[in-house]
Amino acid sequence: MPADPVQQIDTSALPVKHPSRVRGPDQWTGPGNDLAARFGRDGAHAEWFYGFRLAIRTDLGRRLVRAWSIVPAAIDERQMAVLAPVYGSFTSGLRLQT
């Protein structure tokens, strides 16, 4: 199915540990071991979390997931389209049901 000319990017929190249990650097790493769990703010739930973010790129009209990536927790969502390649480009090998 061809991609829409207009797409959107959104992120969701992926907490790995309750913030009150974080005592310092730990062993939580992301893909490639160059991405470490950190603190981030979840605006939808108005709370802090410790972990990563899942970034998803979808078609605006069809709402199909076109790509996804795990990114730092403290990333600014407005910069995701520019910064995603820095943290490992979006994975696009997803199976879509048509």
> Percent of the chain scored above 90 by pLDDT?
7
Model confidence over 5-47: pLDDT tens digits? 787 888 889 998 888 888 877 777 776 667 888 899 888 888 9
> Is the confidence at residue 93, as pLDDT, over 50?
no
Closest alpha carbon to 40 in 56, 8, 68, 16: 16
Residues 6+ apart with CB under 8 A from 38: 50, 51, 72, 73, 74
Alpha-helical segments (H) within the chain? 80-83
Asked if residue 66 is part of any domain, the answer here is yes
Asked if residue 1 is part of any domain, the answer here is no
What's the number of domains the chain is made of? Answer: 1
Asked if residue 60 is part of any domain, the answer here is yes
Domain that residue 19 falls in: 7-87
